[in-house]
Structure 1
Amino acid sequence: MTIRVLLADDQEMVRAALRAVIDRRDDLCVVGDAADGEQAVAAALRLRPDVVVMDVRMPGMTGVEATRRVLADWPHADPPPRVLVLTTFDLDEYVHSALRAGAGGFLLKNSPPDQLAHAIRVVAAGEAMLAPSVTHRLISAFTALPPGLVSGVAPPAPGRHARIGSLTERELRVLILVARGLSNTQIADALGLTLANVKSRVNRVLTRLGLENRVQAAILVHEAGLLPTVAGEVRAEGGEGP
């Protein structure tokens, strides 16, 4: 099945480059593009793509607000598109809010073409795309921010750290592997489980801990002191994300 992609970026050259990378893949197809957030929302509602590749910084409506609008205002019976956020990261504090708004993951703009194609496939499959080294930078930036600085990022709920103790040993291992940036497929290989079993366990762990996504899981594990050396433990640049 071909994955239908909508591109949203305010730079025409960037959109052209992304289109060239994506359309070279037999299983990917660009169905439209947008130059700002408002156009992105309108195009997503009209074209109903599988994935929106969304720049964070655009004039007028940002990629964060566009992501929130697409997911909140989706009028169709079929599920809304998954959103893959593009960011330079070092300047984009907005990435935290974008993930909380419902984005399926984020990718650096200077990532290799193969990693972009892979990220689209991962996000389209319903998983989060968070490369391990980038996840570490996200956690570091998040934990360095004063509370309330980034809009939409809530502090950990009271007792959430304590809830980690209620997890089984296998669930705790799954949580830590999620925080390290492994995909469901990689976790299945590491623990000798089926992919369906891992998906079920990940969902159960997130639910029991009151977490919305894998980014929050990584932050929680980091804050709980269970992941002191994220960087360097797993390197999957160009490989499969979580």
Structure 2
Amino acid sequence: MADQRVAVVTGASRGIGRAIATTLAADGQAVVVGYAGNEAAAKEVVEEIAAAGGKAIAAQADVAEEDEVSAMFDLAVDAFGGVDVVVNSAGKLALSPIAELDLDVLDDLHRTNIRGSFVIARESARRIRAGGAIVMLSTSVVGLQFPNYGAYVASKAAVEAMMLILARELRGRDVTVNAVAPGPTATELFFEGKDEATIERLAKQPPLERLGAPADIADVVAFLAGPGGRWVNGQVLRANGGII
């Protein structure tokens, strides 16, 4: 349909990003499934969306590379006519006490999480159509301040600050800019390197006493990207089941 909204979702080949892509498609949006390296997984997402009657196309892009990101947006325009929603779910996680962190790991983490978010934000600001929505993924650990998350939280705090400024810079454009900050969410990335006791402890922290599911986060993003979220702008939504 001519008025179909078009979403670009980075990090969409697995985890929260995949859930966001399929949820936006179920809401009727055409989706560009952005991925860094796992082409097979991205194609699976495209096939899942198509099987459910939606429209999707895969696009490889390192979010920190401006030419690759520009090409991903070009693909969205060529395939579907424009860009109305951008969700930056691409990110890296590294856990270590600050005193012990290898600075090469820090640089790699921040290249994706800070530079990558900035590149996506910049391209979004240049390309997104009136009535659009930009959603960045942060983390509730910015507020919870768990040990070992220093480098990761530093990167996501930068994302939140960037988002708040972009929301104000887009004054008059009819574009919303928000961040969603998940709490512990049951993804491959979350389970990696954690023993059962740690997982159980984290699951018990919210008053709802469970881990978040990727769909829980996707539903929040879909709200911000849809008609119901038009009056929410320049905000960080901490989707964590009530952890304080």
Q: TM-score range by the shorter chain?
A: 0.3 to 0.5
If asked which structure has higher relative contact order (CA below 8 Å, sep 6+), I would say: 2
Normalising by structure 2, we get a TM-score of 0.42
Normalising by structure 1, we get a TM-score of 0.42
